[in-house]
Amino acid sequence: MKGRPGLRDAAMAILALIVVLAIPLLHRSPAFEDFIIRLSAMALFATSLNLLVGNTGMVSFGHGLFYGLGAYAFALTMQMTDLPLPAAAVVAVLVTAFGALGVGAICVRLSTDYFAFITLAVQMLFYSIIISWQSLTGGDQGLRGGIPRREIFGFELASQLHLYQFCAVIAVFGLLALRHITASPFGQTLRMIRDNESRASFLGIVMWRARLIAFTIAGAFAGLGGVLAALFVSGAYPELADWPNSGQAIFAVMLGGINSFLGPVLGAMILLALNDVVTRFTEYHGLVLGMVILAFALGLRRGVLDFLRLAWPGHLK
């Protein structure tokens, strides 16, 4: 806790990255690598949502819009231009950030309930645009033709191992950046807004501006997750921007714990693992998933990591 918490976080991130990168060198498992690739996208998606839900108390039901926007912006940039992959990723994240700025400008002044509804409505609008604008997006078939796999720094992303490494690096650094944001004075400002909006406004915090910045940052990081998702599926599909996908992120946040920074990552892990295991045994995986979520909600009354932190205070950050 004391001293240089920033350095400690960075050290933990590097350590985690080394472990994840070392695993395929010891043992190759396509299923595990697939899992980590999907987890990187989902972890960024869910953790960025938690910047709104857990940190600021803004429950957005439309976060999938930015995940989908990131995926489409990236895939289209790769298909339509000769930009190298990192540049296309930056373009995609910028497009998503501007998208979030625009949507946020409409939404963030609304009270909690209306904010949730309007974010959902804007997402459905975006989904409809994807479906109808067939010439650009391929409509409900998704963006076909794949993503040109250009080599970057000797990385060949058509290889699963290289894709795995790329996604792990992006996800860890993305999470580290989000961690820094939540630990910054601005992150503290978001908690003030969540705790006591009226007092925060008496202290000189401009409510709509703080919310809009948070919404834009969260959208940008969801877009980064979308970039990874597009790489994984080698294209972009309307499902990425559909509302059940927003629901998945909310589930991940609730399952893992909204008050712990790594809660949504853990939630994403649980959710993906459940999906993988349950779909092997039954086609009614939604039913099983629902029961698990109910068990968590009614049994623990909070996310797993929040629960553990309460059970062993002081041992877990």
Partner 1 sequence: MKLEIKNLTKTFGGVRAIDDISLHFPSGSLSAVIGPNGAGKSTFFNLISGAFAADSGEVLLDGRNILRLSKTERMHRGIGRAFQVASCFPTMTVAENLMASVTAHLGRWGNLACRFPPPGVRERADTVMELVGLTQVANVRAAILSHGDQKLLDIAIALALEPKVLLLDEPTAGMGPEERWRMIERVRALWEQQKLTLVFIEHDMDIVFKVASTIRVLCYGRVLAEGTPDEIRSNPAVIEAYLGTEADAA
Which residues contact partner 1 (rule: CB under 8 A)? 5-6, 180-181, 183-189, 191-192, 194-196, 198-206, 209-210, 213
Q: Is the Cβ of residue 160 or residue 201 nearer to partner 1 in the bound state?
A: 201
Q: How far is the CB of 196 from partner 1 (least distance, A)?
A: 5
Nearest approach, Cβ of residue 4 and partner 1 (Å): 9
- Least distance in Å: CB of 240 to partner 1? 28
* Minimum gap (Å) between residue 102 Cβ and partner 1: 20
Residues 6 or more apart whose CB falls under 8 angstroms from that of 107 comprise 115, 118, 119, 122, 215
CB of 201 to partner 1, least distance (A): 7
Of the pair 116, 192, the CB lying nearest partner 1 is at: 192
Gyration radius of the chain over CA positions: 19
- Is 36 or 214 the residue whose CB approaches partner 1 more closely? 214
Residue placing its CB nearer to partner 1 in the complex, 154 or 204? 204
> Using alpha carbons only, what angle is made at residue 148 by residues 142 and 151, rounded to the nearest 5 degrees?
145
- 241 touches 69 (CB < 8 A): yes
Cα–Cα distance for residue pair 55/87, rounded to 1 Å:
30
Q: How far is CA 149 from CA 23, 34, 89, 92, 136, in A?
A: 24, 18, 13, 16, 20
CA distance 62 to 194: 19
Q: In terms of C-beta density within 10 A (0-12 exposed, 13-18 middle, 19 or more buried), how is residue 34 classed? A: middle
DSSP designation for 313: T
Angle at which helix 64-80 crosses helix 30-50, to 10 degrees, equals: 120
CA 124/CA 292 separation, integer angstroms: 27
User: How long, in residues, is the chain?
Assistant: 317
Nearer to partner 1, 131 or 192 (CB): 192
Q: Name the residue nearer to partner 1 (CB basis): 16 or 192.
A: 192
Considering the complex, what minimum distance in angstroms separates the CB of residue 223 from partner 1? 18
- Residue 279 Cβ, how far from partner 1 at the closest point, in Å? 38
Decide whether 204 or 299 has the Cβ nearer to partner 1.
Answer: 204
Distance separating alpha carbons of residues 255 and 312, to the nearest angstrom = 18
Per the structure block, which two tokens stand in for 228? 């990874």
